[in-house]
Chains A and B, each alone.
Chain A
């Protein structure tokens, strides 16, 4: 009987690994205008009766560096720790969602015990809308307008506009100095497929926001997707 009991317990040994409870598995951070990196901490505690070990962590992308405080990977019941993630923010403003997988001892290859999700907001100080203009081949070469709105508390001026492409004529209009501008772009012709870029340089002191681009494309008309065409035909009286 005693032997049978010991054997049963032994067979269950692989299932006895402890786990870690994180205070939060989702966080949102808003970064400074010129921050190149941001660090986010996730606190955890071993609230089980067994030892828990972090076997590995996977950020999935080279834009994040993951570490555990003091490089301590094994936690006894009641012990606490911190996973620290440093994100490289790159040069692109906007929002990004990053996931870091934490694999504990006993986890299978593609199923981590915990996934830490970070929503990062990199404020856009210069908003260009729309970011690109398109004309169909053979359509009327009518002017189209891009609006540039400064979202910073201080004024940001457009200091230059370049893009000497004879296929597109561009005109910069100041709506409110340091706050709002418009660029009116007109293709010289829509008889040929063509692409162009307008470069806008601002006096913004933050590198990430200083240069802006507007893209222009004259292209073949796109075929309507079958489903959309069918839906349109259905609603036509």
Chain B
């Protein structure tokens, strides 16, 4: 009987500890934080884009697999990625009219850790079409949290 009581006491104390942690630190955060001072130079925070880049003045580039872009890419975006069976230049050729005239481009990929958007930035800078190309910090996760994902076709 005493063992059971002690066990119950241990469990109760552990639960109180966990509950206190939840109350003090809050629930697990899934928000993608973005501090312009700490991100890499080829990245940009969505807040900076919304504050400083005029709406409609830049090209959205979806660096996720082409199938995902077709499903729900940002309206008006183009698909350009380093994964899959198409060469980068083949994809560039398909969107040359847009890439050749854009003055700014914002590249996003599937998550904060995907890294593909930065690769696309690097390859576009090597080609030199667009004066300013940045990778969106947090990628798709950031867009979802900001309510910019409409689940409609990118052609719209």
Write the residues of chain A forming the contact surface with B, with a CB cutoff of 8 angstroms. 3, 6-7, 9-14, 58-63, 88, 90-92, 94, 96-99, 101, 108-110, 130-132, 134, 193, 195, 197, 208, 211-213, 215, 217, 219-220, 222, 225
Contact = CB atoms under 8 A, between A and B. Distances in A.
A221 to B, nearest CB: 11
B149 interface: no
A132 B128 contact: yes
Contacts of B90: 211, 213
Max chain A Cβ within 10 angstroms of own Cβ: one of B30, B100, B131: B100
Given A62-B83, A217-B96, 4 more contacts: A10-B13, A14-B18, A213-B90, A217-B100
B17 interface: yes
A10 B87 contact: no
Contacts of B103: 222
A211 B123 CA distance: 17
A108 B68 CA distance: 28
A210 B32 CA distance: 41
A215 B129 contact: yes
A1 to B, nearest CB: 14
Contact of A213 (B89, B97, B122): B89
Contacts of A91: 84-88
A10 B11 contact: yes
Nearest to B32: A110
A3 B32 CA distance: 42
Max chain B Cβ within 10 angstroms of own Cβ: one of A59, A62, A197, A208: A62
Interface string B85-106: 1111110110011001101000
Given A134-B128, A215-B92, A61 B115 contact: yes
Max chain A Cβ within 10 angstroms of own Cβ: one of B92, B101, B119: B119
Which secondary structure characterizes the binding site on chain A?
mixed
> What 5 A-B pairs have minimum CB-CB distances, sorted nearest first?
A60-B113, A11-B17, A10-B13, A213-B89, A60-B114
B101 A101 contact: no
A94 B14 contact: no
A7 B9 contact: yes
B46 interface: no
21 contacts: A6-B9, A10-B14, A11-B13, A61-B111, A61-B113, A61-B115, A61-B116, A63-B116, A91-B84, A91-B86, A91-B87, A92-B123, A108-B28, A109-B30, A110-B29, A131-B127, A211-B89, A213-B90, A215-B89, A222-B103, A225-B131
Nearest to A216: B100
Nearest to B5: A3
B21 interface: yes
A141 B93 CA distance: 22
Given A11-B17, A92-B87, A62 B65 contact: yes
Contacts of B32: 110
Given A131-B127, A213-B92, A101 B113 contact: yes
B57 to A, nearest CB: 12
A61 B84 CA distance: 12
A63 B116 CA distance: 9
B83 A63 contact: yes
B96 to A, nearest CB: 5
Interface in B26-83: 28-30, 32-33, 65, 82-83
Contacts of B6: 3, 6
B17 A60 contact: no
B16 interface: yes
